[in-house]
Copies of this chain bind each other. A is one copy, B any other.
Amino acid sequence: MNYTALSKDQLEVLLESERAEYKQIVAQKFNVDIARGKPCTEQLDLAMDMLGMLSADSDYPKAYRNYGMLEGIPEMRELFGQMLGVSAQEVIVGGSSSLNLMYDTVQRAMQYGVMGNRPWNRYETIKFLCPVPGYDRHFALTQHFGIEMINIPMDDNGPNMDLIEHLVSIDDTIKGIWCVPKYSNPTGITYSDEVVTRLATMQTKAPDFRIFWDNAYCVHELTDTPDQLANIMEIAKQAGTQDRIYIFTSTSKITFAGSGVSCIAASAANIRDILSHMTYQTISYNKVWQYMHWLYLRDMDNVREIMRRQMQVIAPKFHTILNALQENFGQDNGIVSWTTPKGGYFISMDVYPGCAKRVAQLCKQAGLTITSAGATYPYGVDDADRNLRIAPTFTSDEDLEIATRILVCCVKIAALEQLAV
């Protein structure tokens, strides 16, 4: 059914019907949360094996219990290198949070400058490009440093490269871009080879322009036919632009969320630059925890097997929501579209323009918490008031049924309210 083709009378009938459904929902006082991309209990249970892998009498490299090795243990540098398509020497293993490494990377650039360039703090204004919709915590971090954010529209191939190439070629106060290149948060799309190549090789006016390549979902599949992300570091090396790239990832959604191991990967020159500051910042990260991770993860085949087991847990959760949306709306419904991600943690939904806040409000009143409308845009401002992010992984199957029932009803009401005027 295409709602936009209906008459006012028809719309009013539908609205009345949905309002009745809404009233029933509210009466049941549900309390369901699909706001954050958190792993569920069954996923985390998989990683419990890790905790038994090192015990009091384990044979284990003694040096890992003491100070030193700022760059992390060789085993995890190697494994992260394989995960990201770089060499072990291009990896620094961090603490439990890749967001923390991103913050620190921006902080060092603000305070000290990047590889000998002028500290970003010494500019009146600097700017970051923000493909939208995107990850709210990237934007919040950037705003907190007082960096101006410029929205870059995304399509199924990634951010609009014509716009990006134009902007970075004329403005040397544009210092960075946030990218979640594989299974993008929230749309789930993977950057095309062309987009990756253009990002790696474009001319930038700023010598210290940096791509913050947050490859958070590099092995986080939801199907047996993974998207293939081009190796940006390899392409950049061929073009001599390898210093442009900071790559981040973590095991937060491979082992324990918030208690995993993170890393930053970058060119040899960047790694030297980072370590030259990092040595004042900390003595070393948790090498015992790094080693426990290595014992559990071992190699890429094993990582893929672990992620396949996680897929078996969470893919059905995505299907529950996607099926409900399909059954209730179908394609060409005129009021809502959504993404069908092949990996990552989110479904992105575009509701009828001007309705996202209203949908979120209706959901909230009905006991369903979703990510705040606007959160996927810099400054929390979605001009079209249209995008909503759904995170199905943490929620039980039973609650997901409830969540979809509420969501479908609220999306319909918000659209019908506008269409029926």
Contacts and interface: CB of A to CB of B under 8 A. Distances in A.
Given A48-B57, A64-B259, A107-B107, 20 more contacts: A36-B67, A39-B66, A41-B62, A44-B65, A48-B58, A49-B56, A52-B55, A66-B394, A95-B96, A95-B286, A96-B285, A99-B281, A100-B281, A111-B111, A121-B121, A141-B281, A144-B280, A256-B288, A258-B286, A258-B287
Interface in A372-404: 394
Interface in A200-250: none
B44 A282 contact: no
A285 B95 contact: yes
A314 to B, nearest CB: 14
A110 to B, nearest CB: 7
Contact of A58 (B51, B66, B284): B51
Nearest to A95: B95
A281 B58 contact: no
Interface residues on A, range: 35 or more
A310 interface: no
Contacts of A258: 66-68, 283-287
Contact of A99 (B39, B58, B256, B282): B282
A103 interface: yes
A322 interface: no
A319 interface: no
Given A283-B97, A284-B97, A286-B258, A56 B48 contact: yes
28 contacts: A39-B66, A41-B62, A44-B66, A48-B56, A48-B58, A51-B54, A51-B288, A52-B55, A65-B256, A65-B257, A95-B285, A96-B285, A96-B286, A96-B289, A97-B282, A99-B283, A100-B281, A103-B282, A110-B111, A111-B111, A121-B121, A141-B280, A258-B285, A258-B286, A258-B287, A259-B284, A259-B288, A286-B286
Contacts of A57: 48
Chain B CB within 10 A, most for which of A39, A51, A97, A145: A51
Contact of A65 (B100, B259, B289): B259
A144 B44 contact: no
Interface string A266-290: 0000000000010011111111110
A282 B248 CA distance: 14
Given A39-B66, A107-B107, A96 B284 contact: yes
A38 interface: yes
A71 to B, nearest CB: 13
A140 interface: yes
* 7 nearest A-B residue pairs (beta carbon): A100-B282, A258-B284, A259-B288, A96-B286, A52-B55, A144-B280, A97-B282
Given A258-B284, A288-B259, A38 B66 contact: yes
Interface string A88-114: 000000011101100100010011000
Interface string A310-324: 000000000000000
> Which of A36, A54, A65 lies at the interface centre, i.e. has the most chain B CB atoms within 10 A of its CB?
A65
